[in-house]
């Protein structure tokens, strides 16, 4: 006999008993809030409360919720073609989206592979890099070099290039491919650049040149590995090193792409081009899962240089027409909006609001980049996570701290008063945790 799920309490109880949520345990499941609807930057809970979303649903909902342009794109597409296999068939939304992505990314990127999620776009990027060197008759080049505090996803190849000690995947270290790791970037601003930052990276490239296929890194902002911000000069130096040692450069812009750091793509601020680029999250404005891996013609053709060379990857929902149609609408909406002014205004307000929190005894650092605001604490928030999520919602906002970080990455459409509410709660949260 099925459980009666007509009441909120019954649904929450069933959820707690049967549903896994991200990064959670079935033994000690966390406190849940049911969302019934959303509009703009507000989530409406099933108990009637409205809360301001400071997370943009893990950084994806850049236009806000329930946007009429994206709604119409979804309705129009679902009425004619919700899905069709991409093997041997194509459709206008995918072709149009590939054209849009090629037009707005660096001119060197001319080829697009669509997949289901950011993690898979990283898997595809790694496959491209390894197969490129097989095509170049250098099959020994099959390791990746990356930096500490990185995060690239939860699938196996993506986990192997995420931080092996401070990241989320240390339990699997014995099962993962052993990659090479350099220290994380330190320099915040180009004016403070120190060439010594590249010494370990240079040494690793020199020592392992014959086995390194590619360097993979999140440009300017390391996301879930610590919300760390670093300077553009690091990327410029990294690009030069990759060229010098004949190693590919993969840039993971899943979190930073589509305006989050103040430029359409973070790599633009360094004036460089990747060999392979990973995109996701905001690609569809947060409406539906879709990701893309772009590469240069040299990579695409090099992969097939020694014969068949087909890329053996083909997700069932690859280039889903519904997702592609929404992505086309989202990119069009972004480019036609004053997104740069909006992100700049968010950045300015975040700096003004968060900087004073450096005076709080528990605060170790405050970081702001584009529409990203971070408070780093001197201790982890895990001991208070049994009550903190409920307390946050009781303040009328949605913020999801992790490790020792309190951060927000709101939709670009957030208003000044809404953003002020978020930053005020961040400050009160620091005080609340400190009092425990």
Of 132, 151, 267, 407, which one is the catalytic site residue?
Answer: 151
23 among known catalytic residues: yes
Q: Give Dmax (Cα) for the chain.
A: 67
Strands 276-279 and 248-252: parallel
353: tokens are 């609001």
Of 154, 163, 252, 275, which one is the catalytic site residue?
Answer: 252
Backbone angles phi, psi at 422, to 5 degrees: -60, -45
Residue with tokens 């400190």: 434
Task: Please enumerate in sequence order all residues whose Cβ is within 8 A of that of 300, keeping only pairs 6 or more positions apart, or say none.
Answer: 110, 111
CA atoms lying within 13 Å on the CB side of residue 168:
18
252 among known catalytic residues: yes
Q: Residue 423, class by beta-carbon neighbours within 10 Å (0-12 exposed, 13-18 middle, 19+ buried)?
A: buried
Cβ proximity of 295 and 111 under 8 Å: yes
At CA 259, angle to CA 253 and CA 264, rounded to 5? 80
Q: To which H or E segment does residue 120 belong?
A: helix 118-135
Interhelix angle 339-354/416-434, rounded to 10 degrees, is: 30
Task: Please enumerate in sequence order all residues whose Cβ is within 8 A of that of 416, keeping only pairs 6 or more positions apart, or say none.
Answer: 345, 349
4: tokens are 């009666």
Of 3, 17, 23, 243, which one is the catalytic site residue?
Answer: 23
281 among known catalytic residues: yes
Q: How long is the chain?
A: 436
Cβ proximity of 217 and 150 under 8 Å: yes
Of 65, 234, 281, 287, which one is the catalytic site residue?
Answer: 281
434: tokens are 């400190």
Catalytic positions are 23, 151, 252, 281
């Amino acid at each position: 006999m099925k459980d009666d799920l007509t009441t909120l309490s019954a649904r929450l109880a069933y959820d707690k008993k049967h549903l896994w949520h991200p990064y959670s345990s079935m033994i000690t499941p966390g406190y849940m809030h049911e969302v019934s609807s959303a509009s703009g930057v507000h989530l409406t809970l099933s108990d009637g409360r409205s809360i301001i979303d400071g997370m943009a649903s893990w950084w994806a909902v850049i236009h806000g919720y329930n946007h009429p342009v994206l709604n119409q794109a979804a309705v129009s597409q679902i009425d004619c073609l919700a899905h069709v296999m991409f093997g041997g068939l194509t459709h206008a939304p995918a072709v149009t989206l590939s054209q849009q992505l090629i037009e707005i990314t660096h001119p060197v990127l001319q080829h697009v592979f669509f997949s289901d999620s950011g993690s898979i776009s990283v898997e595809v990027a790694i496959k491209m890099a390894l197969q490129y060197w097989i095509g170049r008759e250098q099959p020994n080049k099959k390791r990746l070099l990356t930096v500490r505090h990185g995060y690239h996803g939860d699938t196996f190849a993506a986990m192997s290039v995420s931080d092996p000690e401070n990241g989320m995947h240390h339990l699997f270290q014995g099962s993962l491919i052993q990659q090479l790791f350099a220290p994380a970037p330190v320099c915040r601003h180009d004016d403070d650049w120190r060439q010594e930052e590249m010494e370990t990276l240079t040494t690793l490239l020199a020592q392992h040149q014959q086995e390194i296929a590619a360097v993979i890194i999140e440009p300017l902002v390391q996301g879930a590995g610590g919300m760390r911000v670093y300077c553009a000069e690091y990327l410029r130096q990294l690009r030069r090193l990759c060229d010098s040692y004949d190693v590919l450069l993969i840039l993971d812009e899943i979190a930073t792409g589509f305006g989050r750091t103040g430029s359409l793509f973070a790599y633009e601020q360094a004036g460089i081009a990747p060999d392979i680029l990973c995109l996701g999250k905001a690609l569809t404005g947060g409406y539906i899962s879709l990701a893309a891996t772009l590469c240069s013609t040299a990579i695409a053709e090099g992969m097939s240089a020694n014969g068949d060379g087909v890329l053996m990857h083909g997700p069932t929902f690859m280039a889903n027409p519904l997702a592609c149609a929404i992505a086309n609408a989202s990119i069009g909406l972004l480019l036609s909006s004053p997104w740069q002014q909006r992100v700049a205004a968010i950045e300015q307000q975040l700096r003004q609001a968060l900087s004073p929190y450096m005076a709080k005894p528990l605060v170790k650092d405050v970081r702001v980049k584009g529409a990203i605001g971070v408070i780093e604490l001197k201790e982890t928030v895990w001991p208070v996570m049994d009550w903190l999520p409920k307390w946050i919602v009781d303040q009328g906002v949605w913020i999801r701290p992790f490790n020792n970080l309190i951060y927000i990455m709101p939709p670009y459409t957030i208003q000044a008063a809404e953003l002020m509410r978020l930053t005020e709660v961040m400050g009160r949260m620091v005080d609340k945790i400190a009092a425990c």
